[in-house]
């Protein structure tokens, strides 16, 4: 028996979107699906392809762009008609999992507005951007083992914090923060010693997913010099269960705002890989910020080119993220350290003035992008609630 999935006008998850996920029905194992409206389509059944009968997207992503496009074309043809009934599950009745088996994780610092804001906060008497910032996409290597799927509770981390005396103590962070980001998932890896050119981006990257890179600002502030982020970042990074393929974002591609000075040759783009994606950050049910990805200074193609410029290998399932997405206006800032200006300008949240996250707080980040013919596409959400610090 076949059935047709109803897609209401204006749906963010119509046949031009079809983001991927890994899901489990009420009775059954985890497998790969795609979203249409409020349903999840079991791709192993609908496309009769065993590569989708696995608990991650990795095997499919490793097959490369030609296979990605062929499967998407088959799926779009299928959803225009009727789908085998046994392949259709209501979204509300399935469990979503981490969509990929994460390889390496790298986080960048690609928003000029975010970098400028933090420079003004931390170095008020100096130039906000450090001398290298306009010459390369600054980043650090994260911890892949603490990348968790949206909805996973985030335990308040403990670490060393500087006291008023200038010496440290140890305890739960008092300045727990978010970073609203866009993540990029590598489908086809590269060999050790072989850089990936900016023009090869779409041959290697499968799709995008929303990221919240949780940050303990007081732990980070004490530890980050001289070698950069460590325990203040590595305790948790939340990833959306929905992976939007690059092919769905064709209408969202835009030129970068402009780079001065022009980048070195290995970072020069031959295609436009800026992305017109609008994010919304909701804190305990109240929208508090609307970061625009269109303002990002460095593109994901440039990030990948720089990540591999020294010959570093990449693998299927590698995740790299944009860093905090912020705009020039206060209501466009993608972290609470910016939104509250270091805790000095509290934010109204449900009638209370707030700065950093308290136990029980929930943050949800959503995003949309332009689709064909004036439509909007949804990129899902990444959600997390703060749990008390573990008892020692």
Grade residue 260 by pLDDT with cuts at 50, 70 and 90.
Answer: very high
| In contact, 366 and 7? CB cutoff 8 Å | no
Q: What is the mean pLDDT of residues 254-280?
A: 97
Residue 86 to residue 53: CA distance in whole angstroms: 14
63: which 2 tokens?
């097959």
Structural domains of the chain in order of their starting residue, each with its CATH number: 2-97 (2.30.30.230), 105-387 (3.90.850.10)
Catalytic residue among 69, 89, 114, 204: 114
- For residue 136, the SS3 value is coil
Q: What is the pLDDT of residue 377?
A: 98
Q: What pLDDT score was predicted for residue 373? A: 85
- pLDDT of residue 239 exceeding 80, the answer is yes
pLDDT digits (tens, 9 = 90+) for 191-209: 999 999 999 999 999 999 9
Mean pLDDT of the 276-290 span: 98
CA dihedral 105, 108, 111, 113 (to 10 degrees): 110
**306 catalytic, yes or no?**
no
Tens of pLDDT, residues 110-167 = 999 999 999 999 999 999 999 999 999 999 999 999 999 999 999 999 999 999 998 9
pTM of the model as a whole: 0.97
Rounded Cα distance between 38 and 340, Å, is 36
Q: Which alpha helices (H) appear in the chain, and where do they start and end?
A: 43-46, 58-61, 65-79, 112-122, 201-204, 217-223, 231-234, 300-307, 336-339
Residue 392's pLDDT is: 67
């Amino acid at each position: 028996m076949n059935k047709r999935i109803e897609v209401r006008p204006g749906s963010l998850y119509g046949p031009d979107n079809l983001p991927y996920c890994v899901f489990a029905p009420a009775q059954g194992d985890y497998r790969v699906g795609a979203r249409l409206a409020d349903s999840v389509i079991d791709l192993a059944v609908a496309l009769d392809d065993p590569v989708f009968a696995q608990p991650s997207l990795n095997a499919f992503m490793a097959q490369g762009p030609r296979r990605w496009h062929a499967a998407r074309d088959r799926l779009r043809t299928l959803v225009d008609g009727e789908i085998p009934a046994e392949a259709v599950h209501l979204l509300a009745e399935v469990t979503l999992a981490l969509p990929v088996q994460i390889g390496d994780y790298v986080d960048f610092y690609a928003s000029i507005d975010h970098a400028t804001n933090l420079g003004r906060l931390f170095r008020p008497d100096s130039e906000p951007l450090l001398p290298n910032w306009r010459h390369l996409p600054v980043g650090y290597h994260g911890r892949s083992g603490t990348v968790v799927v949206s909805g996973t509770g985030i335990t308040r981390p403990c670490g060393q914090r500087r006291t008023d005396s200038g010496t440290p103590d140890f305890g739960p962070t008092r300045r727990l923060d978010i970073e609203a980001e866009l993540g990029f998932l590598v489908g086809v890896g590269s060999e050790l010693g072989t850089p990936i050119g900016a023009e090869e981006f779409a041959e290697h990257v499968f799709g995008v997913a929303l990221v919240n890179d949780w940050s303990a600002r007081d732990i980070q502030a004490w530890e980050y010099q001289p070698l950069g982020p460590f325990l203040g970042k590595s305790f948790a990074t939340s990833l959306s269960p929905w992976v939007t393929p690059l092919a769905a974002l064709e209408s969202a591609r835009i030129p970068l705002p402009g780079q001065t000075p022009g980048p070195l040759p290995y970072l020069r783009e031959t295609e436009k890989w800026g992305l017109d994606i609008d994010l919304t950050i909701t804190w305990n049910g109240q929208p508090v910020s609307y970061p625009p990805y269109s303002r990002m200074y460095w593109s994901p193609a440039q990030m990948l080119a720089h990540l591999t410029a020294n010959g570093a290998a990449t693998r299927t399932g590698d995740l790299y993220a944009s860093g905090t997405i912020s705009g020039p206006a206060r209501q466009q800032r993608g972290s609470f350290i910016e939104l509250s200006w270091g805790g000095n300008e509290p934010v109204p949240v449900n009638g209370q003035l707030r700065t950093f996250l308290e136990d029980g707080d929930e943050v949800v980040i959503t995003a949309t992008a332009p689709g064909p013919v004036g439509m909007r596409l949804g990129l899902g959400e990444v959600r997390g609630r703060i749990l008390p610090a573990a008892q020692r």
